[in-house]
Structure 1
Amino acid sequence: MSAPLLHRDDPDKDPLIGNVKVTRQDWMNAALAVLKQGGVEAVKVADLATRMNVSRSSFYWYFKNRTDLLDALLQHWRDTNTAAMVAQANAPADTITEACCNVFHCNIDTSLFDNRLDFAVRDWARRSEPVNKVLKAGDDARLAALTKMFARFGYPTLEATARARVIYYMQLGYDDANLGETIEERLAMVPGYLVAFTGKAASEAEIAAFNAFARSVAG
């Protein structure tokens, strides 16, 4: 069977080997998959090349070395997971319950927030102090955005901080709990969660809008 034909970021240069051409994003996608499956120790250049059926030397078109790739993975985590949660916390909303529903999008839509990637980075951080500092900066940015979200709806500073922590740490651990819920079972809990997180009941329209979003993502 012939090797898969991929694409390359710099097509004007000579092909790497045969008909196989890979982009920087191809390397990133392969590395992200391995990071989520096997942890940072499994992210090895030679193994990634074998996985993609390409020459190992092609890696060096895009990265200086393995450390450069690992730095890129951390930057990807910042630019996706952390940026998405901050953006959702800052999204326009008329009520705090609608604002929380915006944040809940991160737990429904993996294109916004990849929980498996977050777990992988947290595991990585336990083994590396520099990565732990990056993780802490990300957590701080997310919590700051959630705290501001509550504050803009009139919650006192200490209460806004406490509610931000509750919603954040619950959201992080939800998938890890592996509850085995169906989408309908999960959605049935949303009104109660919103009361627990905010002290307020969401409107029927807010719940309907969130449920429609969740079902559209779930397919």
Structure 2
Amino acid sequence: MPPKPLLHRDDPEAAPLIGNIKVTREDWLNIGLDVLIRDGEERVKVLALAEAMGVSRSSFYWYFKSRQDLLDALLTRWEETNTAGLIRQAEAPAERVTGAVLNVFRCIANPDLFNTALDFAVRDWARRSDAVLARMRAGDLARVTALTSMFGRYGCGEREALTRAKVLYYMQLGYDMAEPEESHDYRLAMTPEYLKVFTGQAPTEAELQEFAEYSRAFWRDLSQ
């Protein structure tokens, strides 16, 4: 789990708050996301969030009309973070299809591009809400569509591109859910083989080196 979010007022690099404002809208969202990930949407309560930040519940209504308004904002943040992040990586330029898939793999390494824990929290939430389920399915469709277009740019036919996109996307979701305890070095050693499965091609040494340097900055070694 990620560390608890830093409140604006506690961040030495943030601009000071003015007047009676003790927390920002971003603080409410970040605390709400933290609770959503750790405990589920049913525990995202206005009073509990206010107590966690040490502020009055009334300040919540400076930023949100209701608890449902906050929940909707959390879903929007998920879409802006995870769905948009994956799509951007699928659309990123690369000389070869292996490099394009490595661009997508950056989502696995960098939680700022794709927050896996948040994705699982939303999927769990969708089991209890038809509205959330609809947004989750729309997000899945948008992601798979972006990956299909990515494979299509590198010469795959329509059906092949869709198949490769689904294999890459749904395999990665299941892989992350399983949370295998693998070191960074082990995953890097396996990356060329995964790329052969996903693309039918072997990556270049330059592609692998670039990804290794990028991912090393974010990797948390679960074996330690």
Q: What is the TM-score with the length of structure 1 in the denominator?
A: 0.92
Q: Which amino acid aligns with 1:164?
A: A
Matched with 1:127 is 128
Q: Secondary structure at the match of 1:110?
A: coil
Sort the Cα spacing of 1:61 and 1:146 in 2 relative to 1 into closer, same or farther, 3 A. Answer: same
Structure 1: state its 5+ residue gaps. Answer: none
Is the Cα–Cα contact under 8 Å of residues 40 and 124 in structure 1 kept in the other structure?
yes
Render the CA deviation track for 1:142-162: whole Å, top value 9, x for unaligned.
000000000010001101000
Matched with 1:112 is 113
Matched with 1:50 is 51
Matched with 1:95 is 96
Shift of 1:217: 2.2
Matched with 2:4 is none
In 1, the alpha carbon distance for the partners of 2:42 and 2:202 equals 46
In 2, the alpha carbon distance for the partners of 1:170 and 1:110 equals 18
Matched with 2:198 is 197
Sort the Cα spacing of 1:118 and 1:202 in 2 relative to 1 into closer, same or farther, 3 A. Answer: same
Q: Which amino acid aligns with 1:91?
A: A
Q: Which amino acid aligns with 1:69?
A: L
Q: Secondary structure at the match of 1:37?
A: helix
Render the CA deviation track for 1:92-129: whole Å, top value 9, x for unaligned.
01000000000000001011100000000001111000
1:167 aligns with 2:168: yes
Q: Which amino acid aligns with 1:179?
A: P
Is the Cα–Cα contact under 8 Å of residues 97 and 194 in structure 1 kept in the other structure?
yes
Question: Bigger CA drift: 185-194 or 169-178?
Answer: 169-178
In 1, the alpha carbon distance for the partners of 2:16 and 2:210 equals 43
Q: Which amino acid aligns with 1:210?
A: F
Shift of 1:5: 7.7
In 2, the alpha carbon distance for the partners of 1:170 and 1:22 equals 40
Q: Which amino acid aligns with 2:209?
A: A
Is the Cα–Cα contact under 8 Å of residues 77 and 117 in structure 1 kept in the other structure?
yes
Count of residues in Structure 1 that have an aligned counterpart in Structure 2 = 211
Q: Which amino acid aligns with 1:15?
A: N
1:6 aligns with 2:9: yes
Shift of 1:11: 5.3
Question: Bigger CA drift: 177-186 or 21-30?
Answer: 177-186
Shift of 1:9: 10
Render the CA deviation track for 1:45-64: whole Å, top value 9, x for unaligned.
00001111111111000000
Q: Which amino acid aligns with 2:99?
A: E
Is the Cα–Cα contact under 8 Å of residues 84 and 112 in structure 1 kept in the other structure?
yes
Sort the Cα spacing of 1:9 and 1:139 in 2 relative to 1 into closer, same or farther, 3 A. Answer: farther
Shift of 1:172: 1.3
Structure 2: state its 5+ residue gaps. Answer: 1-6
Matched with 2:153 is 152
Matched with 1:186 is 187
Q: Which amino acid aligns with 1:61?
A: W
Matched with 1:15 is 20
In 1, the alpha carbon distance for the partners of 2:190 and 2:164 equals 18
In 2, the alpha carbon distance for the partners of 1:165 and 1:85 equals 14
Detail structure 1 runs of 4+ shifted over 3 Å in the superposition: 7-12
Is the Cα–Cα contact under 8 Å of residues 183 and 218 in structure 1 kept in the other structure?
yes
Shift of 1:218: 2.7
Is the Cα–Cα contact under 8 Å of residues 8 and 24 in structure 2 kept in the other structure?
no
